[in-house]
Structure 1
Amino acid sequence: EHWGAFSFPSTQGQPYDALLRIRKEKLSPFTVSYYQQPLLLHQGHMQWLWDVQGHRYLDFFGGIVTISIGHCHP
């Protein structure tokens, strides 16, 4: 897909199930999540984030620098 001046590149990452298994192995069992399925983000550009399935999200949370310059600022 094309979003303004940024094109989302197609990638060949690990399958979602494999990433969930790694997440479970590496994160503390005390890590709390407030969602049914983890959102596995793959890439960010400006105020946008993409998950491993290519869905685009607007970053409403942002960090101190993200609010000022966005994700992946050169």
Structure 2
Amino acid sequence: MNARRKARSAEDLDILIGFLGFWALVLLVTTVWMELTAQPALGWALGLLASVLALWGLIRLRKRLPARTGRRLR
């Protein structure tokens, strides 16, 4: 895999990490709210678990790619 393709892949992963991180935060708030209001929260908690595990995997994969630079390689 050449440097340009690795840089592009790293940028794509950064976008996915941000997107998934946002939804993990939404699921966390929803799960806590459901627990505090004594409503069933198992489905929300399982969704949160799945998103956190996916986020963890993406972050581990991202660490193997080159660090971001100030600008894109052309």
Which bin holds the TM-score, normalised by the shorter protein? under 0.3
Bigger radius of gyration, 1 or 2? 2
Higher strand proportion? 1
Using CA pairs under 8 Å that are at least 6 residues apart, name the structure with larger relative contact order, 1 or 2: 2
TM-score (ref. length: structure 2): 0.26
From the two aligned structures, give the one with the greater helix fraction: 2
What TM-score, normalized by structure 1, do the two folds share? 0.26
